[in-house]
Structure 1
Amino acid sequence: MITVPIIVFPIGLLVALVALSFKIVPEYQRLVVFFLGRFQEVKQPGLRLVVPGIQQMRRVDLRVITMDVPSQDVISRDNVTVRVNAVLYFRVVDPEKAIIQVEDYYNATSQLAQTTLRSVLGQHDLDEMLVEREKMNADLQQIIDKQSDAWGIKVSNVEIKHVDLNENMVRAIAKQAEAERERRAKIIHAEGELQASEKLLAAANVISQNPQALQLRYLQTLNDISNENTTTIVFPLPIETIKGLFEKAPVKF
């Protein structure tokens, strides 16, 4: 009666130990295993054996992580203060480095993204921040990826989401845009006047070389006037005719 518990207890403990030793690793994860505190191996997906107490393990997810970079106050190169936030896409490509080389790779990558965002955008003017986002995204991705490579991190993309301005700056930009539109309108109007004057000059040259063309234009103008509802018709006379009349009939006072 006394020997039964002594035999059953070690068997139950052994079964529990074996059950705890088997780990299921999904396809998107890796197990970083340590043997008595020293790195041993990175276990691949499947059913894996990890002996409790002797081996320790850390699970690492290899899927792409989407990280929202908190809004940062940035002073541009032309001394304009803006608030900028971004989104970062990265994943772990070396589980051993991600566990051994840095305490918390997620937090470390977040801090690195924040400092890099302030540093890179501070080297650009406000107009560049608003227009050349693709270039700045590429610069941010390259810098963050290079610095996080030692942690086994691969940064695939960085996107600037918002560049927030204060109300005074928004009004100033609106005034600048309105002035730019007025400037373009005046230039277009001046170009139109120049082209019109060139066409009129060309037409005058053609008419001066061919008097019959002037007579045809005169008759066409009379036809246009007769088709309109008007009670007054003005008959233009050539300047040469008017001069001839004054020369033949001198004015007496």
Structure 2
Amino acid sequence: MIVFSILAIIVVLIIGVILFTGVRIIPQNMVGMVSVLSKYQKQIEPGLHVVVPVITHVDRVDLAQVPIRLSEQSVISQDNAEVIISLSLNYHVTNPYKFTFENADSVKSMIQQSRAHLRGIIGTMDLNDVLNGTERINAALSRELGSITDAYGVNVDRINIDTIQPTPEIQESMNKQINATREREAAIARAQGEARSIELTTKAKNDALVATAEADAKAVRLAADAEAYRIQKANEILSQVDGNYLAAQNIDAFRDVAKSPANTVIVPNTAIDALGDLKVAGALLGTNKVDQPVKPLSD
């Protein structure tokens, strides 16, 4: 009896294990690919399913989006510059059958294709375009991968270049070029500043010279106007003086001349005639010395 009981328990356990292996639970966002005796039979949706135990195998396929970060990759640009690029992408399974049965490793194949296309794209670009063209590279990779990943039963939802780092040798060369460019731009800026300073200084000097010349010209004009005004007023005064006053002025002038050490004084006839018109002329001329006769100047 004891042996029979033990055998019964063993049988029950075996049956229980067999039955348990026939139960499959498919979580949400997954599907089950059912194979019987290694041959695909059907696809089951999320939930509890009972299958034939032992001979049935169920592969779970995750339909949710999966992120992958690829390891760094060394690529060569069109101008033979080496850069290190790190890449990440997001994908999801679109065809569980292709993903499971038509490719041994769809994810690995997708990664290899991503690396190959990245090398091809970078190889057509110069280093400057590579460093400044991440969006362009991302778009080109998405187009290339979109045309081939359908064969793997997946779709690349997003691909992104995380870093693009030139090799130390290339970086050193770039730094030298950047420094040379900065020095050249600084020299140009200094030269332009000096030229501007000279231009402003020259303009200031020219403006000062023009202002000085205009001031001098104005002063000359004012002096000329003053002299003209003086002459005009003198002429106006002289026009109002009678002839006797002018004759008297002449007598005073002749008298001063007569007092000089000269032995002879020459007087025009017109002056003598004018002197004769004055009643006081004789008295005035009587002051001259006898040895200094006044001789009329003949015409």
Deviates more, 1:160-169 or 1:147-156: 160-169
**RMSD after superposition:** 3.6
Note the C-alpha offset of 1:49. Answer: 1.8
Tell me the equivalent position of 1:238. 213
CA spacing shift, 1:48–1:196, aligned 2, 3 Å: farther
Paired residue secondary structure (2:147): helix
1:73 equivalent in alignment to 2:74: yes
Flag the 1:13–1:125 CA change in 2: closer, same or farther, 3 A.
Answer: same
Q: Letter of the aligned partner of 1:118 in structure 2?
A: R
Aligned to 1:67, what secondary structure does the other structure show? strand
* Cα distance in structure 2, aligned partners of 1:104 and 1:60: 13
Partner in structure 1 of residue 91 of structure 2: 90
TM-score, length-scaled by structure 1 = 0.70
1:95-149 deviation digits (Å, cap 9, x = unpaired):
1110111011222222222222222212211111110100101111221222111
Higher relative contact order (CA 8 A, sep 6+): 1
Would you say how many aligned residue pairs link Structure 1 and Structure 2?
Answer: 217
Q: 1:45 to 1:198 in 2, by over 3 A?
A: farther
Cα distance, 1:163 vs structure 2: 1.8
Distance 2:198 2:42 in 1: 84
Which residue identity does 2:156 align to in structure 1?
V
Q: Which is worse superposed, 134-143 or 111-120? A: 111-120
Distance in 1 between residues matched to 2:187 and 2:68, nearest whole Å: 48
SS of match in other structure, 1:70:
coil
Secondary structure of 2:160's match? strand
For residue 139 of structure 1, what is the amino acid of its counterpart? A
CA shift at 1:238, angstroms?
2.0
SS of the residue 1:130 aligns to: helix
Matches of 1:7 and 1:240, distance apart in 2: 134
The answer to whether the 8 Å contact 1:145/1:153 transfers is no
> Given that residues 72 and 85 in structure 2 are in contact (C-alpha distance below 8 angstroms), is that contact kept between their aligned partners in structure 1?
yes
Query: Is 1:27 paired with 2:2?
Result: no
Is the counterpart of residue 173 in structure 1 residue 174 in structure 2?
A: yes
Conserved? CA contact 1:67–1:110, under 8 Å: no
SS of aligned partner of 2:124: coil
> Mean alpha-carbon deviation: is it higher for 153-162 or for 49-58?
49-58
Q: Helix, strand or coil for the counterpart of 2:74?
A: strand
* CA 50–189 in structure 1, closer or farther in 2 if over 3 Å, else same: farther
Unaligned runs of 5+ in 1: 215-236, 246-253
Larger radius of gyration: 2
Deviates more, 1:126-135 or 1:169-178: 169-178
How far apart in 1 are the matches of 2:200 and 2:48? 86
1:122 and 2:123 correspond: yes
Confirm or deny that 1:46 pairs with 2:21: no
Report the counterpart of residue 62 of structure 1 in structure 2: 63
Letter in 1 for 2:179: E
Contact 2:34 2:59 (C-alpha < 8 Å) held by counterparts: yes
Q: Distance in 1 between matches of 2:159 and 2:144?
A: 10
Change (3 A) 1:94 1:201: farther
Distance 1:197 1:96 in 2: 80
Deviation at 1:6, TM superposition (A): 6.7
Aligned partners of 1:199 and 1:122: how far apart in 2? 52
8 Å Cα contact 2:22/2:54 also seen in 1 = no
Contact 1:70 1:114 in 2 (8 A): no
Counterpart AA for 2:68 = M
1:153 to 2:154 alignment: yes
